Amino acid sequence: MAQELKRHFMIVENDLNDALLIQRAFKKVPDCGTLSLCRNTSEARAYLQGAGMYLNRDQYPFPDVVVSDFRMPGGTGVELVQWIREQPALTDLPVVILTGSASPTEMEGASAAGATHVLRKPLDLDDLINMLRRVAIAVLKPEERPSKSI
């Protein structure tokens, strides 16, 4: 049954090392599903709209969850969340923001903007895998999705 529940995760991360680490961690999460990578908020918006090269949904499936970095050149994760929440078809799309440097006030602001979860990026790969496992489980089994934090 878990096979049927696999989901597609869109990662929005400008730092290639962090993106590779997140991809590597997700691949170690059982039944996580598939991944796509966008390097900035402009690419993420185009992907979500199915614009340009993202028109082919067989090649670029619509994500079940967006996992975005907090700080990126050209637009922040919070700005992406705000844009997503303004799109009528995307208002229920789960968006998880990962941060290594946001202050508690900035994290609260991201939650207030509509982020489903705002989480600190762990420095250790095993900790990152465990955190992403909790994210994947919350998305894979919505009835078990935590109400406040992962």
Question: What does each C-alpha distance from 58 to 54, 62, 64 come to in angstroms?
Answer: 10, 9, 14
Judge whether 33 lies within some domain. Answer: yes
**68 vs 11: CA distance, rounded Å:** 6
pLDDT in tens, 74-115: 899 999 999 999 999 998 999 999 988 778 888 898 999 999
Global confidence as pTM: 0.85
Whether residue 149 is contained in a domain is answered as no
Domain membership flag for residue 95: yes
In tens, the pLDDT along 113-142 reads 999 999 998 888 888 888 888 887 776 555
Q: What's the pLDDT score for residue 95?
A: 94
The separation between CA 36 and the C-alpha centre of its own chain, rounded to angstroms, equals: 10
The answer to the question of residue 125 being in a domain is: yes
**How large is the greatest C-alpha to C-alpha distance in the chain, in angstroms?**
41
Residue 110 lies in a domain: yes
Judge whether 91 lies within some domain.
Answer: yes
Within a domain: residue 12? yes
Nearest-angstrom CA–CA distance, 104 and 137: 25
Q: Which domain holds residue 49?
A: 2-144
CATH number at residue 110: 3.40.50.2300
Is 150 within a domain?
A: no
Q: What is the mean pLDDT of residues 35-61?
A: 94
Total tally of structural domains belonging to the chain: 1
pLDDT tens, residue by residue, 18-31: 888 888 888 887 66
- Cα atoms in the Cβ-side hemisphere of radius 13 Å centred on 29: 29
